[in-house]
Amino acid sequence: MDKEQKRGETAEIARNARRERAILDVSDPQPIMEVSRVWRTTSQVATIGIFVILLIAALEFARPLLLPLVSAFVVTMMLGPLSARAERAGIPSLLTAIVLWLLVIAVFYGVIVLLAGPAVDWIGKAPEIGKSIQDKLRVLDRPWAMMQDLRKALLPGDDGKAGIGVDIAAFVQPIFSIVTPAVGEVFIFFGALFFMLIGRTQLRRVTVAFFEDREARLRTLKIMNDIEHNLTGYLSMVTVINVAVGIAAGVIAWGVGLPDPVAWAVLAFLLNFIPYIGALMMEAALFLVGLVTFPTLTHALAGPLLFLVFATAEGHFITPAIIGRRLTLNPLTVFLSLVFWSWLWGPVGAFLAVPLLIMGLVAVSHLFPRDEQPALPE
């Protein structure tokens, strides 16, 4: 009897020990009262997920058509306040559309003229540039050889050649094949932009009339007005800042002795519209051209280091002070938008990432306003 009692006590102690190990530090657990609600929510989430996947696939499939149309729509929304002021001043909408359209063409043409000459010159010198960079990077041959030896030790069947080889032509050609848009897309962009500028007022009326409820019409009109206001305010300030960044880049290029300071200024102005990645691309371009232009690696690092100092000051102090808290976007949201649209639509998607994010945030703010919510447990 004593043995059975001891055996039962031992089993009870073991069960209690297992129970204590399984207990987690959970505060106030609540059981699920309605399992059907859980399954209903799960089905809704699954339906939304399928819709999102199909939407992304449609955006990718229709990229040749949607990319220029969305770009034209974004530019039209940016120029919307100018069109509204011209309309209030009594200027015909056709004349306003023609002037704004020609202004966009002039900016587009000017950028191409300023960048095409140096780009063609450097592409023509691609073999010489590759050999020059390879000679300048001889200092990395020993670390590279050590990495190759380590790879051979781990993968005996993989015969890698020690040394660093740089084929500029093979590197530049895919980039230009991606960056350079198709001729048809360019025509679609400018054609759609012209007709959107002409029919801006009619487009707004049709969009508002699409809803029957007066409250929905008023909300749609407010969304469109706020999108135009926020896009114009944010991008006009960023454009002024980018002009300063371009001037600084041109001065840095001229100061350290890089060729074509004007082209560097234009390139920095354009790339700075792409958050985070644009500055990195500018740093890489300054470094690569410095390797070819200057005799020493130290001299080649002068331009990138100076631009890094200025870009850091601009991103952390100058831009937040000028734009202010009202127009400051969440860095994580900007980064995720940049990654998504760059992955989906390439370099042009990177330029459209912030404008599309602003449009989405404005629409969400109107459709789902922030109400007083109870504090969540920490």
User: What is the pLDDT at residue 54?
Assistant: 92
Count how many domains the chain has.
1
CA distance 81 to 258: 40
pLDDT band at 145 (very low <50, low <70, confident <90, very high): low
To the nearest 10 degrees (0 to 180), the angle between helices 331-367 and 277-293 is 150
Domain span at residue 244 reads 63-152+182-367
Number of neighbours of residue 246 by Cβ within 10 angstroms? 20
Q: What is the CA radius of gyration of the chain?
A: 29
The tens digit of pLDDT for each residue in 44-71 reads 889 999 999 999 999 888 888 898 899 9
Q: Is residue 76 part of a domain?
A: yes
User: Where do we find the tokens 């093979």?
Assistant: 170
Q: Is residue 225 part of a domain?
A: yes
Does pLDDT of 22 surpass 70? no
Q: Is residue 58 part of a domain?
A: no
User: What is the pLDDT at residue 28?
Assistant: 66
Q: Is residue 221 part of a domain?
A: yes
User: What is the pLDDT at residue 162?
Assistant: 45
pLDDT band at 315 (very low <50, low <70, confident <90, very high): confident
With a CB cutoff of 8 Å and minimum separation 6, the contacts of 183 are none
To the nearest 10 degrees (0 to 180), the angle between helices 93-124 and 80-88 is 150
Q: Can you say how many angstroms the Cα of residue 293 is from the centroid of all Cα atoms in its chain? A: 31
Give the mean model confidence (pLDDT) for residues 332-336: 85
Q: Is residue 86 part of a domain?
A: yes
CA triplet 242, 327, 110: central angle to 5 degrees?
25
- CB of 267 within 8 A of CB of 352? no
CA distance 37 to 337: 33
Query: How far apart are the two ends of the chain, measured CA to CA in Å?
Result: 53
Size of the chain in residues: 378
User: What is the pLDDT at residue 225?
Assistant: 86
Q: Is residue 111 part of a domain?
A: yes
User: What is the pLDDT at residue 14?
Assistant: 61
The tens digit of pLDDT for each residue in 57-113 reads 998 888 888 988 999 998 888 888 888 888 888 888 888 889 989 998 998 888 887
pLDDT band at 205 (very low <50, low <70, confident <90, very high): confident
The tens digit of pLDDT for each residue in 256-295 reads 888 888 888 888 888 888 888 888 888 888 887 887 777 7
Q: Is residue 331 part of a domain?
A: yes
pTM for this predicted structure: 0.72
Query: What's 137's DSSP letter?
Result: G
Token code pair at residue 290: 């410095």
User: What is the pLDDT at residue 64?
Assistant: 86
Of the candidates 318, 314, 292, the one whose C-alpha atom is nearest the C-alpha of residue 303 is 292
CA distance 47 to 346: 28
Higher-confidence residue: 210 or 155? Answer: 210
Q: Is residue 39 part of a domain?
A: no
Average pLDDT over the chain, rounded to an integer: 77
Give the mean model confidence (pLDDT) for residues 6-33: 61
User: What is the pLDDT at residue 130?
Assistant: 63
CA distance 281 to 77: 28
SS3 259: coil
The tens digit of pLDDT for each residue in 163-204 reads 445 455 554 555 555 555 567 788 888 998 888 888 888 888
